[in-house]
Every structure is written in structure tokens, then in C-alpha cells.
Structure 1
Amino acid sequence: MKLIYKGKTKDVHELDSDKVLLKFKDDVTGNDGVFDPGANTVGLSIEGMGNLGLRLTKFFFEKLNDMDIPTHYVDSDLDNQNMTVLKAKPFGKGVEVICRYKAVGSFIRRYGMYIEEGQELDAYVEITLKDDERNDPLITDEALEMLNIMTKKEYEILTSLTRKISKVIKDELSKKDLELYDIKLEFGRVGNDNHIALIDEISAGNMRVYGDGKYIEPFELGKIILS
């Protein structure tokens, strides 16, 4: 298989003209050895995290596919930590979408003058550009259209899908008495019709979750959800 891209938490290999294979790693994003789903650098490596991330991604993607929510997921091979997905065209050079239910992390760092940490947010959606050199800057719908990254209509579809998908995950976590504070998702254009679909992964390393008011580490979180 041809290696297309070597990423922070996954490597991407080409399978054929329509599909690629994602190889999950044990690395997670963070800073100075501390996990942070919003970080743009690898902060630490947790043995078994790749397999757990794939199992969790498989669990959620199959649930979303059953609900007719568009994703690029095809199938997975848990033994080899591989996931087969449909090829997706990125928006520009890639965007990340965050859905926030509580004010934590970078939201507090930016807006702490106006809001207390942990304060409720109404499924607030923000989009950042995937640009490590510029620290993944926030961008508005007008700028996205002006820079030919996505249209206003695509922005509306993307934000609507983000809230729908995030609620599915939030509701699933609530069954385990866990509370989703925020989650990072990725989308792309898939298929001949370029429809917008969820891509990449849904793993514990891409969300902040609390139980009884205490932060749940990604590895522990994955085990709880799948138990």
C-alpha cells in the first residue's frame, strides 16, 4: 500500500481509486505530556490507545451509519488497527469543527473575561483551519466563503451535522453517567456528488468528558464507553 500521509494520530494509505486505509497509532495530541484534544502537536503516547480509538470510532460510525447520518466509514480490522474509509476531499487544506457544551480549554483562554470555566454553552460550534504554523486559527462563515474554502450553504450543513452527531455522542455518554464538555470532529466532501460527511475518527482523544465533575482520561473513557 502507498503511504499518502503520516499524521499525528493516524497514517493514511491508499487502497484504490475510491478508498483509503487509516492506521491508528497510540499517540494523542497535547502539550508537555498533558492531553489536550485541541492541541496541534503530539503530547504523549498511551499504549493501546490506537486500538481503543479504533474500537470507539467503529462503535460510533456504525451507529451514525445506521441512522443515515453521512460518514466515510466502510469497515475496520481491529486486530491490525486499520479502518477502511471512502476518500474525502478536504475543505481547503482541512478544517476542524468543535462542538462545545461547557466553557473549557481554549474557549476559556479566549473568552474568560466574559464567562466562567465550566459554564453551560448551547452546543456552540466553531471552526478552525488546520494550520499548525498559525495555531489552527478560528474562522467565520464569511471568511470561509471569501477564501473559497466552503460556501455558506455548506457551512450551514456542516454545523447542523455537527450538532446532530455531537448530540448522538452526548446521549450515548449520558447512559454511562458521563457528561460531554466538548468534541472535535472533521468533515469532508465524499462521493461523486461531493456530499458533506463526517470523516477521520470519533475517539476519546478528541473529546473532553467528565464524570461526577471529574475529568476522565482518554484511555479510561474509551474503556468505560465500550464496557
Structure 2
Amino acid sequence: MSSRRRRIYEGKAKILYEGPEPGTIVQYFKDDATAFNNQKKGTITGKGVINNRISEYLMTRLNEIGVPTHFIRRLNMREQLVRQVEIIPLEVVVRNVAAGSLAQRFGIPEGQALPRSILEFYYKNDQLGDPMVTEEHITAFGWATPQDIDDIVALALRVNDFLSGLFLGIGIKLIDFKIEFGRLYEEEMVRVVLADEISPDSCRLWDLKTNEKMDKDRFRRDLGKVEEAYQEVARRLGILLDPGAGDHRGPATVQ
């Protein structure tokens, strides 16, 4: 890509660039992988390309059922155009089956179905290790209003219902997932919309028959075949990666 774009932000898995028109951002997906709040680092070859496609597909499907998202369109193999939003500094985790930190915290065997879907909030702050927070903390510290929280909870549960059914249909169990939200300012209105990405980086996905992990836990736990697992998710979703399109490392930037 020849255009020299201003880099706005670089995260663990993505780079954000200034978009082509006001109110837009270009989201670039990297192959970098991190776990345990950046303590473990590595590269998953082609991950950025697959996550770009999977996130495009899922965001598009969610848009179709009326879940507002920041997604506009995919630009190329590694980039998508999104609306600029003010990110609410919360990670919203929806859990259907005990796994990861929840299994450890409460001593529940991994893989045990939860009595109902559990929604958790974490404060987005790498230095602090993204601590878990309650609605009390969120409203007291002004990260979100009670109305924002109502919107977030309603949207997160809709996303869970939709994705659980979608993945079930292709033989995958949606164990849990993390999503983020932002405020979209349009004329006189402010809307809470789904932001960031939805991919095997941010979901726990298990094969329905074998319980084989098909997500970033393969990287976290050194299970190997991480690229293959991500590719299998894309294949089951019916996403074909662009044949022969040039894979590039991202646009040149001006600081």
C-alpha cells in the first residue's frame, strides 16, 4: 500500500491508522500473538489474514440482525475500514462453559457447562493486568454510565445467542468470548456499538465432537497447530481466503 498513513495506535494484535475520510479508521491485523498480558509472545503465520476475514464475516452477520458495530468493510487481506469510536475501557467477557480463569478462580472443571451464561467486566489496562470489575466500579469511576451498561449487557447477550447458534451449526462450541464496545457519535446522537474484533484470538472455540481447542489457547498452552486451528474455523464458516492476493506487512507510516 503506497499511501503514507498516520499510525494512531498499535496494540498487541492490531495497528490502527487514520482512515481515508473523517470519522474512519483502518484496522490492520498483525500475525503477532501474545498471552498472559503480553508475558508470552510469538507469531502465528497468517493469523492476521484469517482473523481479518473471520471478524469481517461475523461483524457483517451481526450487522444483518441489527447489532450495531463499527465495521464498514474489508479493504484487503489484512485491513478493514471501521468507524472511529470512543472505546469504552472495558473488556466484556461472556462465558457459557467453564474454562480459563473462571475455571481456576472457582475450582470448576474446565468444560463444565455453566448454569447460565455469565457476563463479566474487566478494566482495560495492561499495566494492571486487566482487573475484573463490577458495575459499581464502572459507574463510580465514570468508565460507563448505567445506560451504557444496560446497552452493553443487552448487546453482549444478543451477540452470544447469535454466535452460539452460528458456531453450533458448523460443529463448534462457543465456550466464551471477549468483546469491546465504543461510543459512536453521529450528529446529535451517541450510540454504543460493538468494536474491536471477533476472532479465534478473542473466543474460545471447541470442536463439538472432540472438544479439540480451535482458538488462541493452542498458543497459550503450547498445543501446536495454531495456524491449522484458525484455518479450520475459517473453513467451517465457509470463508475462502483470497487466492494469490499479495500479502503485505502494512502501509508505510508517518509519525
**Code of the aligned partner of 2:9:** Y
Q: Which has the higher contact order (CA 8 A, sep 6+)?
A: 2
Q: 1:182 to 1:27 in 2, by over 3 A?
A: same
Gaps of 5+ in 1: 32-38
**Code of the aligned partner of 1:117:** E
The superposition leaves residues 59-95 of structure 1 with CA deviations (integer Å, 9 ceiling, x where unpaired) of: 011111111210011111233x11101111022xx21
CA distance in 2, matches of 1:163, 1:42: 31
Structure of greater Rg = 2
TM-score by length of 1: 0.89
The superposition leaves residues 96-148 of structure 1 with CA deviations (integer Å, 9 ceiling, x where unpaired) of: 11110011101122111xx3322212221101011111110011111100001
**1:42 offset after TM fit, Å?**
5.7
CA distance in 2, matches of 1:42, 1:23: 21
- Between the two proteins, the alignment pairs up a number of residues equal to 215
Identity across matched positions, percent: 27
Asked if 1:172 is matched to 2:166, the reply is: yes
Q: 1:82 to 1:176 in 2, by over 3 A?
A: same
Asked if the contact 1:104–1:181 (Cα under 8 Å) also holds between the matched residues in 2, the reply is yes
Match of 2:113 among 117, 120, 137: 120
Gaps of 5+ in 2: 216-228, 240-255
**Code of the aligned partner of 2:121:** I
CA RMSD of aligned residues (A): 1.6
CA distance in 2, matches of 1:120, 1:108: 11
Matches of residues 126-205 of structure 1 in structure 2 within 5 Å? 126-192=120-186, 193-205=189-201
Counterpart secondary structure, 1:194: strand
TM-score by length of 2: 0.80
Asked if 1:6 is matched to 2:10, the reply is: yes
CA distance in 2, matches of 1:222, 1:30: 22
